[in-house]
Amino acid sequence: MQNVAIQNWMQALAGHYERSRTAFAQDDLLILFDIDGTILDSRYMLLYLLQAYDRNHNTGFFSACRITDMSFSVAELEAGLRSLGVPADHFAAIQAWYNRHRWSMAAVLEAHRPFPGVMDVIRWFQLQPHTHVGLNTARPEHLREETLCSLNKLGREYRVQFTSDLLFMREAADSDDVIAAKLAGIEHFRACGYRPFAMVDNQPQILEAVAAHDPGKAILLLHAGTLFQQRPEQMPANAVQGNVYDLTELIPKKAIPRHIQFVWDGVSSEAALTQFLESNIRWADLSVLTDRYMNDQSPDVRHANGPAQSSALLQTCLQQLRQADRGIKVNLGADLACNRSLLRLLQTAGIDSSDLWFHVDMEDLGEAQFRQLAETQPGAIIETPVDFLAPLIGNGGQLAENILDRLCDWGVNRFALDWSTPGVRRLVERLDDWGFTVTIYGVRELQDFLQAVLLMPRAICSDFSYAKWREPHVGKRAVHDIDGAVLRHA
């Protein structure tokens, strides 16, 4: 079978999208997603409904069940119930209960979870020019509002939005012909002027029907093997199967948006400096610590990981960065004398304040120092992390907005959020809605980096040492450029 086990499905999707984009440059391209079992993990709804059955019938068949026990499709409900030890004389009642309630408002709104990564994949395509994401579902038409409401609720933190014009549903609720409905969906979108280039579905028999319907293979067929073993004999030969929505296979380095400011974290050794200068990332975070413990008598600055002599290294570093026209990010601490020492060093090195980025914890400096910094460093980025305000920001109350407004009044012009802060996506969205400028820092893995990119913050700090992006044959070092010279001017 062509490609099936060989090529990663997200890679295949990326390649097919690029070819379609080139071939039909003027067209509105469309990728179609099935909903249940493809975007949403239907096991949650199944478990929800079975446990609701227990509650309503004073039974306890499913009270100890976990999500991993729901490893059967709805079509195999009877066999599934048998495997869970449910007595056979209850099968019909449970099946009837399931049929009656599966599309209830509560089940649709409360029991749905997206598969990991799928919303990111959808967001990626929604961000691409002249590219759209359509939903092609066998859910009946009368569930339009609930479907959009629940999917938009789930998509919100990913900045994904679904609209009614891109949702095709089964016309007649009593029709069991799911395949006819899916084919009608493709034709509907074609009639609306879209060019479908890919379709993701978890049912092989649907993909088989689409393959027969599309002999020219314009539509890449992607089988989401996300739930349980499907019958492989029904899989069309040109379908590509996968079960992980992996952004690192989908998004090529060259496609990273150029308007985000990227900051290389931890340029604190000569080797790191060389790597940084070989890249075309604009900002270097020098991980400078200002403290007194190196020498109790006189304030000094040094690299975070550096040995005692690293003040000299820092000076060399600053000169090279200035010559290369790069931006420099440093931390200021609570020791004002040390901060002054660092600022003098930057001034001596001839660094323009518009090439400077100060990261300052709120607890280290007060209003007067922030105001002074803003006054003496015009054009510099003055950033403070606001993770400690997460509960207030998350609630969306006026208090958080007032605090942030006050900080802006002091001269802070950037708020930073740690990628590991719980609910960080919602926090970024909230700050963005309020009109503040956001940096996401602490991004370690490529997958996280790409997810952060999709949130479109103003800046992302990472160390860019992603194994997948390394080019092993360029000298002995990795080359970590993102793409093109334009980044230099971001």
Interaction site with Mg ion (CB under 5 A): 34, 36-37, 202
Partnered with residue 385 across adjacent β-strands are 416
In Å, how far from its chain's centre is CA 216? 33
Half-sphere exposure of residue 444, counting CA atoms within 13 Å on the CB side? 2
- Minimum gap (Å) between residue 45 Cβ and Mg ion: 12
Paired sense of beta strands 283-285 and 288-291, if any: unpaired
Residue given tokens 């086990």 in the structure block:
5
> What are the structure tokens assigned to 311, written together?
């003040």
- Minimum gap (Å) between residue 378 Cβ and Mg ion: 57
- Minimum gap (Å) between residue 285 Cβ and Mg ion: 45
Residues 6 or more apart whose CB falls under 8 angstroms from that of 191 comprise none
Nearest to 205 by CA among 235, 226, 227, 228: 235
- Minimum gap (Å) between residue 81 Cβ and Mg ion: 21
Toward Mg ion, which CB reaches closer, 199 or 373?
A: 199
- Minimum gap (Å) between residue 240 Cβ and Mg ion: 17
Is residue 395 within 8 A of residue 428, CB to CB? The reply is no
Cα 388 to Cα 440: distance, rounded to the nearest angstrom: 14
> What are the structure tokens assigned to 108, written together?
């649709």
- Minimum gap (Å) between residue 39 Cβ and Mg ion: 9
How many Cβ atoms from other residues are within 10 Å of residue 94's Cβ?
Answer: 22
Toward Mg ion, which CB reaches closer, 36 or 429?
A: 36
Measured from each CB, the residue nearest to Mg ion is 37
Is residue 273 within 8 A of residue 267, CB to CB? The reply is yes
Toward Mg ion, which CB reaches closer, 213 or 344?
A: 213
Toward Mg ion, which CB reaches closer, 202 or 268?
A: 202
- Minimum gap (Å) between residue 203 Cβ and Mg ion: 6
- Minimum gap (Å) between residue 246 Cβ and Mg ion: 20
Is residue 393 within 8 A of residue 427, CB to CB? The reply is yes
Cα-Cα-Cα-Cα torsion 271, 272, 278, 282, nearest 10 degrees, comes to -160
How many Cβ atoms from other residues are within 10 Å of residue 271's Cβ?
Answer: 10
- Minimum gap (Å) between residue 379 Cβ and Mg ion: 53
Toward Mg ion, which CB reaches closer, 179 or 349?
A: 179
- Minimum gap (Å) between residue 335 Cβ and Mg ion: 60
Toward Mg ion, which CB reaches closer, 202 or 331?
A: 202
- Minimum gap (Å) between residue 242 Cβ and Mg ion: 15
| 3 state DSSP class of 152 | helix
Cα 245 to Cα 121: distance, rounded to the nearest angstrom: 7
Residue given tokens 């040390």 in the structure block:
338
Question: Quick one: DSSP state of residue 115?
Answer: P
Toward Mg ion, which CB reaches closer, 117 or 204?
A: 204
Toward Mg ion, which CB reaches closer, 228 or 469?
A: 228
Residues 6 or more apart whose CB falls under 8 angstroms from that of 3 comprise 12, 238, 240
How many Cβ atoms from other residues are within 10 Å of residue 185's Cβ?
Answer: 24
Cα 286 to Cα 292: distance, rounded to the nearest angstrom: 18
Toward Mg ion, which CB reaches closer, 60 or 116?
A: 116
Toward Mg ion, which CB reaches closer, 93 or 173?
A: 173
| 3 state DSSP class of 303 | strand
Partnered with residue 198 across adjacent β-strands are 31, 220
Toward Mg ion, which CB reaches closer, 36 or 355?
A: 36
Is residue 353 within 8 A of residue 312, CB to CB? The reply is no
- Minimum gap (Å) between residue 36 Cβ and Mg ion: 4
Residue 64 one-letter amino acid = A
Toward Mg ion, which CB reaches closer, 137 or 280?
A: 137
Q: In what order do the strands lie in the sheet with 194-201?
A: 167-170, 131-140, 28-33, 194-201, 220-224, 240-242
